[in-house]
């Protein structure tokens, strides 16, 4: 699957955050091999840590390309983490479903 430009992904994430009333602006960036954050997969920084500000979402292109529910579901998942850290909480599942994604897309991520 072809991945859109980062600006399109950024617009999508910003629109989701605004629609969900999330108090933090997501900032998307491509995950780099030499990053100072230890996560290997696509992930969201839910607080200021490892030189990254809260709201930074590090995207791994290979995950976006092979996503079963599309890149939109992966970005939606990470944006929802800015509101609720634990995706096992019922409120997290409700957010994902409110955005139109099936509960099953949660388990693709973790």
What is the architecture, at CATH level 2, of domain 6-109?
2-Layer Sandwich (3.30)
Q: What's the token pair of residue 36?
A: 């100072």
- pLDDT one-digit tens code per residue, 60-102: 999 999 888 899 999 999 999 999 988 888 999 898 998 998 8
Q: What's the token pair of residue 58?
A: 């590090």
Give yes or no for residue 55 having a pLDDT over 90.
Answer: yes
State the residue for tokens 């900032």: 27
State the residue for tokens 């100072």: 36
Strand pairing report for 56-59 and 27-30: parallel
The whole-number pLDDT of residue 34 equals 66
* Average predicted confidence (pLDDT) for the chain: 87
Give yes or no for residue 58 having a pLDDT over 80.
Answer: yes
């Amino acid at each position: 699957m072809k991945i859109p430009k980062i600006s399109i992904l950024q617009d999508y994430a910003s629109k989701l955050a605004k629609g969900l009333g999330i108090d933090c602006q997501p900032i998307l960036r491509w995950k780099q091999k030499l990053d100072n954050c230890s996560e290997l997969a696509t992930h969201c920084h839910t607080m200021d840590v490892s030189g990254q500000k809260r709201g930074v979402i590090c995207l791994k292109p290979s995950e976006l390309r092979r996503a079963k529910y599309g890149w939109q579901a992966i970005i939606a998942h990470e944006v929802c983490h800015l509101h609720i850290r634990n995706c096992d909480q019922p409120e997290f599942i409700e957010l994902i479903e409110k955005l139109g994604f099936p509960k099953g897309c949660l388990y693709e991520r973790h």
